[in-house]
Amino acid sequence: MSDALMPTYARADLAFERGEGPYLYTADGRRFLDFAAGIAVNALGHSHPHLVAALQEQAGKLWHVSNLYTIPEGQRLAGRLAANSFADRVFFSNSGAEAIEGALKVARRYHYAAGHPEKTRVISCSGAFHGRTLTALSAAANPKYLDGFGPASEGFDNVPFGNMNELRNAITEETAAILVEPIQGEGGIRAADLEYLRALRAVCDEYGLLLILDEIQCGMGRSGKLFAHQWAGIEPDVMALAKGLGSGFPVGAILATEKAAAAMQPGTHGSTFGGNPLAMAVANAVLDVMLGEGFLEQVEATGRLLRERLTELAARHPKVLKGVRGAGLMLGLECVVPNTELIAKLRDEGLLTVGAAENVIRLLPPLIIEERHVDEAVQAIERACATWAKAA
């Protein structure tokens, strides 16, 4: 292992050499079914031919020019994202945390330009995760991640996720926006009630606040719709994307309505790398696939199948699993046994998964999986549960 790396991760002693579709292969030829997908990043799996072709073609032409010039692929991607969402304006970043930071800047600038420079505070929710920059950590207000990194950035009021009364009580003259994940990922695959999302939209309208949705993990098809908030039939004012947007190429985005973004004029925000031709070529190729006929319907159907099978499996192993939650192909296995230990057992069975809060195991497979991959995953989980029962 390379010990010069800063040891900020508890890494598994497992390295991969190549990937194909939903599978990863080690140099010595072991095969793993990848239901981690780089933490909901490899939305189209590994080595997707259309993405490889797009990247290779662009790599031979132009990588980077800076945002001092027009980037036609970026204009095209922004237009396509806008055409398929609530948004009118798009800004490209390199990561999720940067998209969140930018979204917060949009909200503050909006009220500033409207003659309300006092409206700077943002209400966020317990259990949230918005990234690892100081401000994104401050927004999520998880003491575990902020420990030793204070002082936190000012301007956040954290309320219990899902509780409308407490949220309403937190609104003051200084409130600018509400920031929420429609489905919390790191927090343990906690889906907001659709009624809660509708109530958030209504309270934002009532008080003139901006609704900022963090769809970095639950967006880009993962829930079975292109964006998770679409299940509630609402529209945000601002939304942050990243993870699945580049399906493995680092790219994030802030999407906003014309009204919310009107004050983001030249000089107000920027990024050296954001939206470069390589990232734009790959993200456009990702959209080609995701917007294709029947793609999202397939995600929804496969997600329903996986959920049914997992629910039956959990019922057969009540000493190991409690149940299943989530939406689409963003599912959480509620564990009775410690999730980290079961994740290691699943890895021994050739299935890669991700932990989350509340003792949950996240299943975040590539969105291209088929019924046979569902079968394979369920069999691996079944074997791990059976081994557990025997050992106990």
Ligand X SMILES: *Cc1c(COP(=O)(O)O)cnc(C)c1O
- The binding site for ligand X (CB under 6 A) comprises 95-97, 100, 129-131, 181, 185, 214, 216-217, 242-243
Q: Give the tokens for residue 262.
A: 């009107």
214 has catalytic annotation: yes
Give the chain's end-to-end CA distance (angstroms, integer): 33
Distance CA(207)–CA(103), nearest Å, equals: 19
Distance of closest approach, residue 184 Cβ to ligand X, in angstroms: 7
Computed on alpha carbons and rounded to an integer, the radius of gyration of the chain in Å comes to 21
C-alpha closest to that of 303 among 230, 218, 387 = 218
Closest CB to ligand X among 100 and 377?
100
Which member of 92, 243, 249, 345 is catalytic? 243
To ligand X, the closest distance from the beta carbon of 348 in angstroms equals 26
To ligand X, the closest distance from the beta carbon of 215 in angstroms equals 8
CB-wise, 182 or 224, nearer to ligand X? 182
* Residue labelled with tokens 């000493």: 319
Closest approach, Cβ 379 to ligand X, in A, equals 28
Q: Are the C-beta atoms of 262 and 238 separated by less than 8 Å?
A: no
288 noted as active-site residue: no
Shortest CB 41 distance to ligand X, Å: 9
Annotated catalytic residue within 32, 214, 227, 237 = 214
| Residue least distant from ligand X (Cβ) | 96
- Closer Cβ to ligand X, 98 or 237, answer by number: 98
In whole angstroms, give the CA distance from residue 248 to residue 195: 33
User: Given the complex with ligand X, which of 239 and 385 has the nearer CB atom?
Assistant: 239
Q: Are 207 and 197 in contact (CB under 8 A)?
A: no
- The CA distances from residue 304 to 109, 328, 331, 368, in Å, are 41, 7, 10, 14
Closest of 136, 134, 127 to residue 149, by C-alpha: 134
Is the Cβ of residue 92 or residue 388 nearer to ligand X in the bound state? 92
| Phi, psi angle pair for 228, to nearest 5° | -65, -30
CA distance 299 to 282: 21
**228 or 380: whose CB is closer to ligand X?**
228
Annotation says 149 is catalytic: no
In this complex, which beta carbon is closest to ligand X, that of residue 210 or of residue 314?
210
Which of 129, 156, 161, 249 is catalytic? The answer is: 129
35 contacts: CB under 8 Å, gap ≥ 6: 22, 351, 352, 353, 363, 364, 365, 377
Residue 242 vs 306, nearer CB to ligand X:
242
> Which residue numbers are catalytic?
129, 214, 243
